[in-house]
Amino acid sequence: MDEAKDVSSRVPRVLAVAGTDPTGGAGIQADLKSIAAHGGYGMAVVTALVAQNTRGVRAVHVPPPEFLAAQLRAVSDDVTIDAVKLGMLHSAPLVEVVAAWLDDVRPPVVVLDPVLAATSTTGPGGGRLFDTASTAALRAMCSRVHLVTPNLPELAVLVGETEAQGWDAAVGQARRLAGRTGATVLVKGGHLGGEDSPDAIVRPDDAAPVRTVPGRRVDSTSTHGTGCSLSSAVATLAATGLPWVEALSRAKAWLAGAIEQGAVLDVGSGRGPVDHFHHLRGMG
C-alpha cells in the first residue's frame, strides 16, 4: 500500500491498546495525550478497566477477549493505522487476541510497553497489572513487535534474570532480550538511582552499537505514567519516519519538561501525572 509507506507528510494515525487510568495520568489516557502532544491522531482500544488513582490500583475489570477482538477489528476495518502502541495486556488470553490481530493487520510500526505493574504506585497486589503466570505469552509477543520498551524490573522478568543493579548490566540484559526476540529494545533507566536517567536503543544485531541517550534525572514526584507517555511519543514520532534513536531523543527531552512541569497540574496526592502539554503553556 503506497499510502501507508510515506506518512511523514500527514498526521500519523496512532492506535493505543492499553488499560485505563481514570485520573488521566497513566494508561490509555496518557497515551492519547502523548500522541496528541506529538502531532498524531490518537485512537484507543481498551484492554482492561482499572480503578486507580495517583496513590494506587484498587481493582481491575477485564471485558471478554472477544470484545477486545471486536474493538481491534472495528478500528482496522475502517482506518489505516500508521503505528500501534501496546500497553497493559493483562493476561495470556488478551495477548493472544492482540497477537492474532497483529499477524493479520501488520501495522508498519508496533511498540510494546510490557506493563507488569503500576510502578509509581502501590495497592493490593502491589499495583499489579499483568498476570505473573502469563509471562511466556508476553515474551512471545516481543517477537511480534518492532520495539519493546521495558523498565528495569520488566526487563528482568522478560529475560528471566534478577533485576539489573547498574546501567551496564541493564544494557547486557537488553542485548539478550533483543537477541532472543529479534525486536529492538528501548531500555529505560528511570529506576536507577543517581543523577542520571539514561535510556538506550539496543538492536538485535550483535554488531550494531548500543545507542545511549543520556538524560538528567528531574527531582520530582510527577512520574505517574512516564513509561506510557514515552512509548506513545516514540511510536508517534517513528510513524513520521524518524529512526528510533532520533524519536527517543526527542521524546525524552519532551518528557523531562513534562515531568518538570507536572506539579503545576496539582492532580492527586500521590505520584502525580506529567504535564503532556507543557510546551503549549509557555512553561517548557
Ligand X SMILES: Nc1ncnc2c1ncn2[C@@H]1O[C@H](COP(=O)(O)OP(=O)(O)O)[C@@H](O)[C@H]1O
Ligand Y SMILES: Cc1ncc(COP(=O)(O)O)c(N)n1
Stretch 214-273 residues interacting with ligand X (CB under 6 A): 215, 217-218, 220, 223, 226-227, 230, 252, 255-256, 259
136: number of CA atoms within 13 Å, CB side? 1
DSSP 167: H
Question: How far, in whole angstroms, is CA 68 from its chain's centroid?
Answer: 19
* Residue from 284, 251, 233 nearest 33 by CA: 233
Q: How far apart are CA 278 and CA 269, in angstroms?
A: 20
Identity of the residue, 46 or 259, whose beta carbon is nearer to ligand X in the bound complex: 259
Q: How far apart are CA 76 and CA 111, in angstroms?
A: 17
List the one residue from 50, 94, 170, 202 that touches ligand Y (CB under 6 A).
Answer: 50
Stretch 45-84 residues interacting with ligand X (CB under 6 A): none
Q: Which residue has 529475560 as its cell numbers?
A: 159
Cα–Cα distances (Å) from 42 to 21, 32, 55, 86, 273, in that order, read 16, 5, 27, 13, 19
Shortest separation between residue 70's beta carbon and ligand X, angstroms: 29
Stretch 134-153 residues interacting with ligand Y (CB under 6 A): none
Identity of the residue, 65 or 215, whose beta carbon is nearer to ligand X in the bound complex: 215
Shortest separation between residue 74's beta carbon and ligand X, angstroms: 28
How many residues are recorded in the chain?
284
Residues that bind ligand X (CB under 6 A): 119, 151, 188-191, 197, 199, 215, 217-218, 220, 223, 226-227, 230, 252, 255-256, 259
Contact footprint for ligand Y (CB under 6 A): 18-21, 26-27, 50, 52, 87-88, 115, 118-120, 129, 224-228
